[in-house]
Amino acid sequence: MKCDVAVIGGGPAGATAANELAKAGLCVALLERNLNNAKPCGGAIPLGLIEEFEIPDELIERKVTRMAVRAPSGRVIEMSMPNGYVGMVRRERFDKFLRERAAQSGALLIEAKVQAVKAHDSGYKISADGNNQGVTEIEAQYVIGADGANSKTAHELDFPPNEFKAVAIQQRFHYAPELSRYENLVEIWFDGEVSPDFYGWIFPKADHIAVGTGTEDTRGNIKQLQKRFREKLNWSVEPYYEEAAKIPMHPRKTFVKGNAMLVGDAAGLVTASNGEGIFFAMKSGKMAAHTLLNVLAGREKSLAKYEKTFRRTYFPIYTGLALLQWLYYRNDRLRESFVAICEDKHVQQITFDSYLYKKMVPAPLWVQAKIVAKNLYHLAIGH
């Protein structure tokens, strides 16, 4: 089979790229190894994503407007979002919707696991194993690798490695009366016993609560951390489902090579500090698709423009969040200071504004000065 573009991986990044390209009339094959995939994920998405990508209301299982951060000492700061909410989706429903939307736009959705991607003439030859349907061979002029943290596409095409992967685990709990306070509350635990370098989370969904933790320390035992988290929570309910996966929190050195582009986790586009990846997966998928359309229309010289634009637009966020994690997530004394700073209303406002719409709204100078002073003060006193 021949087509213009093969998109490998039908998660948020791949489904978004395929949708944009198919809408523009290109012949697009969207290859997904498992159409019933439930990607291990907290499923928290910002309002800006919901609006830009027109996510239907019925997919948003909770619109959470309250957030609590908990320090190692047990101190809890609760805050509310005046101008929006964090949307909670379940990935098995969310990804399916995005893939079906791409198919409705004209993408050819194929359930098959890609085994090989080889340069061929001026394009690529892709071999994929379609379970009972045998091997599918696709020739495409362009390839978009959207196949997640362990990207086969990146490996086959010799992209530089995904350097930095955290691992995260999550368990699902049915609602019980003792958990009712979480129905409109996201709770984040900054506690070295729950994670030595990341955080633990409690996210509400329609019919369950997701509890998870992550770490970059691959020598540690993620299951032990989750066990400790549950001991500390001391809930009487037992989880009914467990899931785990890697989180690539460091962009690859390059994510464009020849006629191939990597998007989302395949490119390593999860932000440090909060582990957010869905927004950046969809934005990178869209940007890659639009760059390709511009190249084909002669408006742009090369696909390298995609990487350049992505880095220019979002790298201040990646750098800022990496700095935040480095500064505050190293020990409990620093975590305690971090939670103390979250009590400041301006810090809360800046955090929510920048999370919801990924725009850094510059605060007045006196507010910036106050925040710097508070940071120094809490770092010095350690709480």
Ligand X SMILES: Cc1cc2nc3c(=O)[nH]c(=O)nc-3n(C[C@H](O)[C@H](O)[C@H](O)COP(=O)(O)OP(=O)(O)OC[C@H]3O[C@@H](n4cnc5c(N)ncnc54)[C@H](O)[C@@H]3O)c2cc1C
| Least distance to ligand X, CB of residue 16, Å | 8
Q: Report the residue number, 39 or 101, with the smaller CB distance to ligand X.
A: 39
149 DSSP assignment: T
| Least distance to ligand X, CB of residue 322, Å | 16
Residue 216 in tokens: 């970059």
Give the Cα separation of 213 and 219 in Å (integer).
15
Q: Report the residue number, 19 or 337, with the smaller CB distance to ligand X.
A: 19
| Least distance to ligand X, CB of residue 106, Å | 20
| Least distance to ligand X, CB of residue 99, Å | 9
| Least distance to ligand X, CB of residue 372, Å | 28
| Least distance to ligand X, CB of residue 78, Å | 20
| Least distance to ligand X, CB of residue 226, Å | 11
Give me the helix-helix angle, 278-296 and 304-328, nearest 10°: 160
Residue 210 in tokens: 């997701």
In the chain, the amino acid numbered 195 is S
Q: What is the Rg, in whole angstroms, of the alpha carbon atoms belonging to the chain?
A: 21
Do residues 184 and 65 lie in contact, with contact meaning Cβ atoms separated by under 8 Å? yes
Q: Report the residue number, 190 or 344, with the smaller CB distance to ligand X.
A: 190
| Least distance to ligand X, CB of residue 251, Å | 12
Using CB under 6 A as the criterion, which residues of the chain lie in contact with ligand X when the complex forms?
Answer: 8-14, 31-34, 37, 39-44, 113-114, 146-148, 152, 168, 170, 212, 245, 247, 264-266, 270, 275-279, 281
Give the Cα separation of 260 and 73 in Å (integer).
49
Q: Report the residue number, 210 or 340, with the smaller CB distance to ligand X.
A: 210
Identify the H or E element spanning 20. Answer: helix 12-23
- The residue number whose beta carbon is nearest to ligand X equals 277
Residue 339 in tokens: 């939670």
Give the Cα separation of 26 and 12 in Å (integer).
19
Residue 352 in tokens: 């929510």
Residue 137 in tokens: 């061979």
Do residues 197 and 217 lie in contact, with contact meaning Cβ atoms separated by under 8 Å? yes
Do residues 64 and 184 lie in contact, with contact meaning Cβ atoms separated by under 8 Å? yes
Q: Report the residue number, 72 or 148, with the smaller CB distance to ligand X.
A: 148
Q: Report the residue number, 340 or 355, with the smaller CB distance to ligand X.
A: 355
Q: Report the residue number, 86 or 334, with the smaller CB distance to ligand X.
A: 86
Q: Which residue has the tokens 């685990």?
A: 169
Q: Report the residue number, 110 or 303, with the smaller CB distance to ligand X.
A: 110
Do residues 280 and 269 lie in contact, with contact meaning Cβ atoms separated by under 8 Å? yes
